[in-house]
Structure 1
Amino acid sequence: MNWIAILVAALAGFVVGGIWYGPLLGKAWMKERGLTEADLQQGNMVLIYGTTFALSIVSAIFLGHLLAHFGAMSARSTMMISVGIALGFIVPAIGTNYLFSRASLKLFGIDAGYWIAFYAAMGAVFVFLG
């Protein structure tokens, strides 16, 4: 496994989250979750962001391991596998949870879109760094 690619992929996914839930869709996400800026500031940000980055590393390790299993692949194949993980596993899983928890379709769209972008960003890193 390429540890540099794994760390950069994890960082890419983490940055996507910062943009997605920040300036891009942060206000809409907070509204759908029923949160305010004050609510968000009350959390332990070191724990939240630190754990989030650690989990991004775990995702990048497993994606990197899976991609390494196939050997040399085209960029298209790498991206299909990366985005396919989000579309085939993560989006249906959160969709099921959101149905039972009665979360809005808008919230589902925001969160599902994030995971697709997250895995696309990581896949792109593996395309360029292997």
Structure 2
Amino acid sequence: MPKVLGLNLVGVIVASVAFYFVGFLWYGLLFSEAWMNAEGLTAADAEGQSPIWMIGGFLITVLQVIGIGLVLKWKGAASLGEAATTALILWFFLALPFVHYAYLYLPAHSVTLLLIDASHLLVGWVVSAIVLSLIK
């Protein structure tokens, strides 16, 4: 099986697609209106975006999945539960503080935006870790 930094390439791709799908659910279906309102966007604003940005978003997702995979590998998280717990801990100490930057420094201080973005990363990181633990 092909590897990327010692990780199963198929696992990385499947986990990245799963994480990206979580983003589609979060920002496209479940919290679309709340997120757009919190960002101050209209449907017309969203329609005018170039699809090239979606490629960039997927690449960022792949980098996150590789990072999660490397930590799981280094930690030796063998079981599904260990992988999910590790992702939760990583999210708490890395992703959650990171998304707080926007909350603290942007003038709006939007709790809605913070909750949507943080929960997206939580679910995406845990789903990625689970997929990576299943496809080694």
Partners of 1:85 and 1:21 in 2: how far apart? Answer: 22
- State how many pairs are aligned: 129
The answer for the alignment partner of 1:11 in structure 2 is 17
CA contact (8 A) 2:77 2:83 kept: no
Q: How many percent identity over aligned positions?
A: 26
Match of 1:27 among 10, 30, 33: 33
Moved >3 Å (runs of 4+): none
The worse-fitting range, judged by mean Cα deviation, of 4-13 and 73-82 is: 73-82
Q: Where does the alignment leave 5 or more consecutive residues of structure 2 unmatched?
A: 1-6
Amino acid at match of 2:33: K
The answer for the alignment partner of 1:77 in structure 2 is 82
The answer for the alignment partner of 2:4 in structure 1 is none
Alignment TM-score, normalising by the size of structure 1: 0.92
Partners of 2:86 and 2:77 in 1: how far apart? Answer: 13
Cα–Cα, structure 1 residues 72 and 81, in superposed 2: closer, same or farther, change >3 Å? closer
Partners of 1:48 and 1:24 in 2: how far apart? Answer: 21
Q: CA deviation at 1:104?
A: 0.9
Match of 1:58 among 55, 59, 63: 63
Match of 2:98 among 89, 93, 101: 93
